[in-house]
Structures are given as C-alpha cells and as structure tokens.
Amino acid sequence: MMMRLLKRWRWGLAIAAVLLAAIGYTLWPQARTVDVGKVSKGAMSVGITDDGVTREKDLYVVSAPATGYAARIALEAGDPVTRGQVITRISGRPAPPLDKRTQEELRGALSSARAAERAASASLAQARRDAARAGALSPKGFISKAQLEAARTRVATAEASLAQSRAEIRRIGASLAEPGGKAGGSPVPVLAPVSGTVLLVPSKSEGMVVEGAPLVTIGDPSKIEVVVDLLSREAVRVKPGDRVEITQWGGPDPLIGRVKYIEPYGRLKVSALGIDEQRVNVVIGFDPAVARKAARLGHGYQIDATIVVWSKPDALRVPVGALFRGKGGDWRVFVVEDGKVHERAVKIGQINNDYGEVVGGIGDGTVVVLNPENDLRDGERVRPRAPAA
C-alpha cells in the first residue's frame, strides 16, 4: 500500500522537495563579502609632519655704518664675495640747492662777516700796540701790573674775535661755493664681513641711506638648515638626533636630516582659522653629503618635514583600517576564522596612518576584516572580496 502511494506521488514529492530546498537556500544567511588584511611583521615608524622653511645657518646683514649718500651697489644676488671686499662707499650728506633769495642772504651775511673781520683786525692791531707800550712802561713803574695784564687780555680777546670772523667767512663761503646735490666729505668704504654669496640686495641704486639701513645680505648656501614650528605639545615628543624626512622640496627623493635642537622659548601664533597656538621652533640640520644636495634650496624656501619620534624594524603591525573602538573604549578587530568573523580585543602601542603596533591579543599572520561595517556581528559568515584585476 505504502509503496503504491509513494509510486503514485513520487513526482509530487520530488517537486515538493525541490521547492523546499529552494526555499531553504533562499532563506539561508548568505556570506557577507568583506575586505581582509593580515597582521604582519615589518618596519614601522611614527612621525610628526608639519611645514617648515629653510634658512642660512650664518646670515650676515651688512648695514650702513652712518647716514649719508651711498654709491650704486654693483653686486647681484648670487654673486660671490670675499671678506674685505668693498660693497659700496658712503659719502657725506649732499648740500641742498640754494634758491636766489638764500644766495642773496648768504652774500649779505658774507659782507657783514668780512666787515667784522676788518674791525676785529684793526682792534687786534691796536690791542697789540697798547700791550707793547704797557710792556715797556711796566718795568719802569709807570703802570701797574694789573694794567699790563688787562692790555694783554685785550689782545687775546681781539685775536679770538678775528678768528671767529674768519671762521664765519669760511662757513658762508663754503655754502655759496658748494654746488647743490653734490655729496661732500671723504667716502667711507663698506666692506664685506665674511666670504660667501650675496643673497639679497634690497636696493642697488645710489642715494641717501640712514644709519643701520640694510645694504646687502650675505650667507653660505652650503650651510643651510630647516626650521619647523611645531605645536608645543608635539615639540615635547621630539629630541635631538631624531631622523627627519624632508619632502615637497622640489626633488624626487626625500632629504634626510637630523634634529639639532629644540628652542626652549615658545611663541604665540594665530592659525589660519584664527586659533591661538603656542609654537616652538625645531631646528634641523643635514649631514655633509646631504648638505650638498640641500644647497639647491635657498634661504626662506618652504618644505614639508616629518620628524620620526618612534621606529621599530620588526614591529608586529595590524592595518589601521581594521581597528575600531569597543563599548569600553578598548581597541578591537574582527578576526576571520573558518569563514566566520570573531570580535577580538587587541592591545595597541604606537599607531600611524597605516598601521597600529600590536602589543597583544592577536598574532602574526592573523586575517582581519578591513573597514568593517557597523552592522557586522560576531559569528557572521563572510567571504574575502576578490582582489581587483
């Protein structure tokens, strides 16, 4: 009986089984496609990146030693100079041109000074004669010693008055004789204090300069260094001798330098967003071999610098995209095992843009999910995404 029923309904049962299998397959959870990576050992470093500028290690600004008229500077930026080379010469201030009225006033003053000279000369002659007579009469007792001294005093006074008149004549005569616009006095040479290269000439033209005005700037391109201003909380992580990679300087390969020193004085600087920041200068130098390549940079060139504050050649590292924070704030990853994911807590030491240093929780070669979705759950079936062709 049973056999006849089975034989009779065999096709219906077969179709029902197929339908049930199809429904079960449809409702069965599908494996989620995920990106995966591996925990591996390799070199890892942590750095602080910021922009900086180059500067000459020894910069000399040659200034005008006095106010006067400077001759034209023939030097160009980039020209070599030697110690003691004449940069320019500075003469006295040029006399201003005289208008007709001033000239007439000076001529009148000159005539008055000459008349005063003649009067002083006559007074001096009379005083000398009186003194000579007094000198002859004094030994015979005809005049007192006080009268003799008074006569000699009048001679000295007349001589001083004559000298003053002559000086006034020379002064007025010099003002009339000097053509307007001509610098007077002996030129004073301005010398280069050191040998090097001219970096900057603010003005080449001749003309008036005031005392202390910069004339040329001299430096040595082979002694270039880099200054990076870091936030103070980042600068405390840096120490002398740290490796520095200089990028965005114009060459294909990074320039390698070392931190020379960190300035102990912080400065307030307002960021582009208007935020007050305490900045500290970190000074970076180059080895002699690298300095020759760095000499292509001039004073005040902008660069990017990455200061390596930690590095390890064989660090156990996990891709940073696999890390996420758990409910307790600890670091976690999704580990792929037997086609399923399992959430694991990991201990992370140093971290950079690419990797996190694994201190504990997972081992070398562990497969982890990269950039896990928020709804990914522990125990869910997954399959690795095929690499792009």
What sign results for the dihedral spanned by CA atoms 251, 254, 259, 264? positive
pLDDT at 184: 54
- Which residues does the chain have with pLDDT short of 50? 180-181
Measured in degrees and rounded to the nearest 5, phi and psi for residue 154 equal: -65, -35
Kindly report, residue by residue over 128-181, the tens digit of the pLDDT. Answer: 887 787 777 777 777 777 877 887 888 888 888 888 888 888 887 777 765 544
CA nearest neighbour of 71 among 94, 51, 50 = 94
Q: What is the pTM of this model?
A: 0.64
Q: Are the C-beta atoms of 332 and 326 separated by less than 8 Å?
A: yes
pLDDT at 36: 92
pLDDT at 4: 59
Kindly report, residue by residue over 227-256, the tens digit of the pLDDT. Answer: 999 999 999 999 999 999 999 988 888 999
Q: Which domains does the chain have, with CATH numbers?
A: 32-41+314-384 (2.40.420.20), 48-56+221-312 (2.40.30.170), 66-93+184-219 (2.40.50.100), 100-177 (1.10.287)
Q: Are the C-beta atoms of 202 and 225 separated by less than 8 Å?
A: no
What's the CA angle centered on 203, arms 202 and 209, to 5 degrees?
105
pLDDT at 89: 92
Q: Report the residue count for the chain.
A: 389
| Secondary structure (DSSP) of 2-16 | HHHHHHHTHHHHHHH
